[in-house]
Amino acid sequence: MSLDGAVERREDPPAGNGNGNGAVAVALPTGRPTYGDRRLRLNPNTEHKPERYDDLETEFDPSIFSSLERHLPPTMLEVPRDAKVQFMKEILARYLPEGERTRVQRHKEYRQKIMSAYQPLHSDLYNMEPTTFFMPPFIKAINDNTEESFRSIMSEPSPGVYTFAMLQPNFCELLLEEVENFEKWVNAVKFKIMRPNTMNKYGAVLDDFGLEPMLSKLMEEFICPMSKVFFPEVGGSTLDSHHGFVVEYGKDKDLDLGFHVDDSEITLNVCLGKQFSGGELFFRGVRCDKHVNSDTQPEEILDYSHVPGQAILHRGRHRHGARATTSGHRINLLLWCRSSVFREMKKYQKDFSSWCGECQREKKERQRHSVAATKLAFLRSGGSII
């Protein structure tokens, strides 16, 4: 897809073939008290620390329960965990269409199949170990946890695009070996894997072969502190799920990546290596759905060259693409971070001038017009402007 064409929306591929259309009535469990008459709070109780639900055997992602808990009516916060779970399951069953439930269930089975057979090469990668994963200045900045400390390790080559040295070379090496090992296994057992999203033929979803808990920690403990500060208007303070994957470019792999927006609120993109030329990212301004194909303003143009170990953090709605990797082999780690609260609120909003460049431009234009019209009316009425 060229820059002249429409911007694509890059999404994870659907698992299974659930149709995902239309809501259907879902039977509620019988024989137990239900809490269907109680209403959720519209705004989350951000002071409340939700329980963890990682141990739950349901078709829903455990993070959904933790997020939903903040919306429980105050009296429900006091009841035992089991009762909270039942209440939340009833709500989810009412709102999640059957097609989506089937899709979630199939994806879960797909992951279980991989996890029961795949033997990790480097088990150290599966537990978050900051001192072996990250560069010391990055760890210090996160520990200090202030805007100043983050900015001290970052560049902001264009508004809303942050770059910083993040991963240690040895960690990049181990992760590359793990991905290679996973792909070898996939080929050996002829397993049909799902690619990271709709625009890549190569690459792998890290969450699918056991790295999900480690990536959740990465998001919660290392990305959220920064996104709270730099991207609060797009859900940066309420990130609650992620999609973690690697993309691979080179001869016999994907060459480039068309102009698109990510299915994320915040995207972390870190180059893992290896040796390559080309593959630059190009950015062309942040846009809401309505303005996704609007013109780029000159000040929105940014080209960025990847450096192994170096991270780039941007809004998912920041339009971008990757130029051809002209030689060698380039592999990048991508973490699409999402906020269910932001997505829900967005449904009821029309003006995105706090982050969409085109909404902002239109708003300024309207303000200019209204000031000019007021001046004119004033002059016509015989007044004078000092």
Query: Which of 332, 339, 340 is CA-nearest to residue 315?
Result: 339
**What is the spatial distance between Cα 247 and Cα 256, in angstroms, rounded to a whole number?**
10
Query: Which of 202, 326, 334 is CA-nearest to residue 275?
Result: 326
154 lines the binding site for ligand AKG (CB under 6 A): no
281 lines the binding site for ligand AKG (CB under 6 A): yes
Closest contact distance (angstroms) between CB of 320 and Fe ion is 6
Which of ligand AKG, Fe ion, none has residue 7 at its interface (CB below 5 to 8 Å by kind)? none
Tell me if 194 sits within 8 A of 14, measured CB to CB: no
Q: Which of 125, 268, 272, 334 binds ligand AKG (CB under 6 A)?
A: 334
Closest to ligand AKG by CB, 111 vs 330, is 330
10 lines the binding site for ligand AKG (CB under 6 A): yes
**What is the spatial distance between Cα 356 and Cα 256, in angstroms, rounded to a whole number?**
26
**What is the spatial distance between Cα 308 and Cα 322, in angstroms, rounded to a whole number?**
16
Closest to Fe ion by CB, 70 vs 320, is 320
69 lines the binding site for ligand AKG (CB under 6 A): no
Residue least distant from ligand AKG (Cβ): 322
313 lines the binding site for ligand AKG (CB under 6 A): no
* 236-265 CB burial, b ≥16 within 10 A, e <16: bbbbbbbbbbbbbbbeebbeebebbbbbbb
Three-state SS for 372? Answer: helix
Which of ligand AKG, Fe ion, none has residue 300 at its interface (CB below 5 to 8 Å by kind)? none
Closest to ligand AKG by CB, 262 vs 358, is 262
Return the ∠ at Cα 15 (arms to 122 and 262), rounded to 5°: 75
Closest contact distance (angstroms) between CB of 246 and Fe ion is 13
**What is the spatial distance between Cα 216 and Cα 237, in angstroms, rounded to a whole number?**
15
Which of Fe ion, ligand AKG, none has residue 322 at its interface (CB below 5 to 8 Å by kind)? ligand AKG
Closest contact distance (angstroms) between CB of 257 and ligand AKG is 5
Closest contact distance (angstroms) between CB of 308 and ligand AKG is 12
Three-state SS for 356? Answer: coil
Q: Which of 269, 294, 310, 340 binds ligand AKG (CB under 6 A)?
A: 269
Structure tokens at 62: 């455990």
Closest to Fe ion by CB, 248 vs 262, is 262
Q: Which residues are near Fe ion by CB under 5 A?
A: 262
257 lines the binding site for ligand AKG (CB under 6 A): yes
**What is the spatial distance between Cα 117 and Cα 367, in angstroms, rounded to a whole number?**
61
Closest to Fe ion by CB, 238 vs 264, is 264
Closest contact distance (angstroms) between CB of 38 and ligand AKG is 40
Closest contact distance (angstroms) between CB of 332 and ligand AKG is 4
**What is the spatial distance between Cα 99 and Cα 380, in angstroms, rounded to a whole number?**
63
Q: Which of 332, 337, 352, 357 binds ligand AKG (CB under 6 A)?
A: 332
Tell me if 36 sits within 8 A of 88, measured CB to CB: no
Q: Which residues contact 370 (CB under 8 A, 6 or more apart)?
A: none
Three-state SS for 247-261 is EEEECCCECCEEEEE
**What is the spatial distance between Cα 218 and Cα 125, in angstroms, rounded to a whole number?**
12
Closest to ligand AKG by CB, 93 vs 206, is 206
Closest contact distance (angstroms) between CB of 219 and ligand AKG is 16
DSSP state of 326: E
One-letter identity of residue 100: E
Closest contact distance (angstroms) between CB of 359 and Fe ion is 21
322 lines the binding site for ligand AKG (CB under 6 A): yes
Tell me if 334 sits within 8 A of 267, measured CB to CB: yes
Q: Which of 262, 265, 300, 358 binds ligand AKG (CB under 6 A)?
A: 262
Closest contact distance (angstroms) between CB of 42 and ligand AKG is 32
* Residues forming the site for ligand AKG (CB under 6 A): 10, 247, 257, 262, 269, 281, 320, 322, 332, 334
